[in-house]
Amino acid sequence: MLDENQLLKTCLNSHTPLFTNPTFEQDGFVIIEDFLTQVEIETLRTACSDIVDKLDPNEHKCIFTTTDSRQASDLYFIESGDKIRYFFEASAVDDKGNLCVSKDKALNKIGHALHWLESSFKEVTFSKNVADVCRVLNFKQPVVAQSMYIFKQPQIGGEVKPHQDGSYLYTEPMKVVGFWIALEDVTIENGCLWFIPGSQTKPINIRLTRNPSGIKGAPLTYTGPLETYDEKDFVPAPCKKGSCIVIHGQVVHKSEQNRSSKSRHIYTFHVLEEKDASDLYFIESGDKIRYFFEASAGDNKGNLCVSKDKALNKIGHALHWLESSFKEVTFSKNVADVCRVLNFKQPVVAQSMYIFKQPQIGGEVKPHQDGSYLYTEPMKVVGFWIALEDVTIENGCLWFIPGSQTKPINIRLTRNPSGIKGAPLTYTGPLETYNEKDFVPAPCKKGSCIVIHGQVVHKSEQNRSSKSRHIYTFHVLEEKDVKYPTDNWLQPTSSLPFPHLYQE
């Protein structure tokens, strides 16, 4: 049976790389020699030289350093994810912001969208070699998050403090890998990487995050305790030009200042697992306004095939609180009066959605009970489903099984504490099947509201007509003497506890 290194050798057989380290799983990194050819190396270096030639230092004066947090106060850094931007060494700039050396000798790095905006870097990033490594590492839907060309200039190339890449590119569960490609021979003297082998088992305790409160005006902030490491635990990872170091997102690594007379140019990019990440985008939407697209509105590369307004499935799940027009309707006297008729004592609004049901592509919604998604004990959930256009059988009206509200909730969508197969959400309980003959349609006029019991079985068919079917819907739960389980997919947050309609 082939071990992981042999598998990597096999899948990269066009370059027949040799490994200088034990397995990726054991150490948290692996060096693949001859990952790039000499021609590919020169192509990247020439492309970078062309980019630098176009640089006007007067327009780009951002310093990058990991030894203090100055970049955290700079929007130039934050907004670089879809751009090519330039970051200078601190020691290459005087106190007036002028360069002390030529621009090509002053740069710390260029980032963070080379992989997409520059064809030479794009070709390497999306190469078969990279895809094959990701397959060996069991990525299902790998995406490239960011890329950098790092110069590590002679004499002034700055130190990079010990860190885990997951502190900057955090995912749940953690599945991040870095590709670090040497474009020159990398030595201890010119600033090779140093690793703590096996430290990829260490959790991510500190993160660089956007600062929602904008404390002291800083748009970024570190959260979590400061990490310290024993210098004796680090081992160097020098490598030859053309080698690629594959780096686990949790392995602790660093590099020292380049005190030599030689530069240390490298190209690096990070790959994340997207599979099940859509669940996280969904899970964390309870106190936000987020956007969900129709599956048939995008191609296999994630690009929209139609205009965005025609591609959306829904927007959710905090319209009722964050948008004044929706808030006014949700907390209206009409809604409160219905809840009183239904004997709610302390009704709270859990979530809200604007659903588009686009012409031709508006997707089917399978038979379900709302209580499967918003479960309470005892069950007291009601949906308000408000038609903003005439709703017909043709454009996707609701269908109900009348009387099925007496049926218990047997299947639930819950948060997955064990993270089985990396999925943050899981269905618990037996799959439900229904007789299609039991469903009756519920077409209605624009402005109508369908009030839906949390246990009644309902569905909607695909919209195959030429007309959309826009609706606004939200769900109300009883808070008085009712338990809301902590494993429900939707949870109240500190920024948005479930707000009350009224309290009696």
What pLDDT score does 278 carry? 65
Distance CA 109, CA 106 (A): 9
What pLDDT tens digit does each residue of the chain (504 aa) get? 334 444 444 444 433 333 334 578 889 999 999 999 999 999 999 999 999 998 887 765 554 444 444 444 467 888 889 999 999 888 777 767 777 788 888 899 999 999 999 999 999 999 999 998 998 888 888 999 999 999 999 999 889 999 999 999 998 778 999 999 999 999 999 999 999 999 999 999 999 887 765 445 577 888 888 889 999 999 999 999 999 999 999 999 999 999 999 999 999 999 998 776 667 788 889 999 999 999 888 776 667 888 999 999 999 999 999 999 999 999 999 999 999 999 999 999 999 999 999 999 999 999 999 999 999 999 999 999 999 999 999 999 999 999 999 999 999 999 876 544 456 788 888 888 999 999 999 999 999 999 999 999 999 999 999 999 999 999 999 999 999 999 999 999 988 999 999 998
For residues 207 and 230, give the distance between their C-alpha atoms in angstroms, rounded to a whole number. Answer: 20
Yes or no: say if 454 and 379 are a contact pair by the CB < 8 Å rule.
Answer: yes
pLDDT of res. 9: 45
3-state secondary structure 114-166: HHHHCHHHHHHHCCHHHHHHHHHCCCCCEEEEEEEEECCCCCCCCCEEEECHH
Task: Give the pLDDT score at 297.
Answer: 84
Sheet with 244-248, strands from edge to edge, namely 29-32, 244-248, 176-182, 266-273, 142-150, 107-112, 84-88, 62-63
Phi, psi of 25 (to 5 degrees): -65, -35
The continuous run of DSSP H or E covering 9 comes out as helix 4-11
CA distance 180 to 171: 20
- For the chain, how long is the longest CA-to-CA vector? 81
Distance from chain centroid for Cα 495: 20
Structure tokens at 82: 């879809």
- Give the full edge-to-edge strand order of the sheet including 289-293: 289-293, 312-317, 347-355, 471-478, 381-387, 449-453
Three-state SS sequence of 48-74: HHHHHHCCCCCCCCEECCCCCCHHHHC
CB neighbours (10 Å) of residue 464? 12
CA 200-205-210 angle, 5° bins: 120
Domains of the chain, by residue range, sit at 4-275, 278-478
Quick check: 103 and 59 in contact, CB under 8 A? no
Phi/psi for 463 (5° steps) reads: -80, 105
Domain 278-478, what architecture? Sandwich (2.60)
Quote the pLDDT of residue 67.
45
| Fold agreement between 4-275 and 278-478 | yes
pLDDT of residue 77: 83
Q: Which CATH superfamily is domain 4-275 in?
A: q2cbj1_9rhob like domain (2.60.120.620)
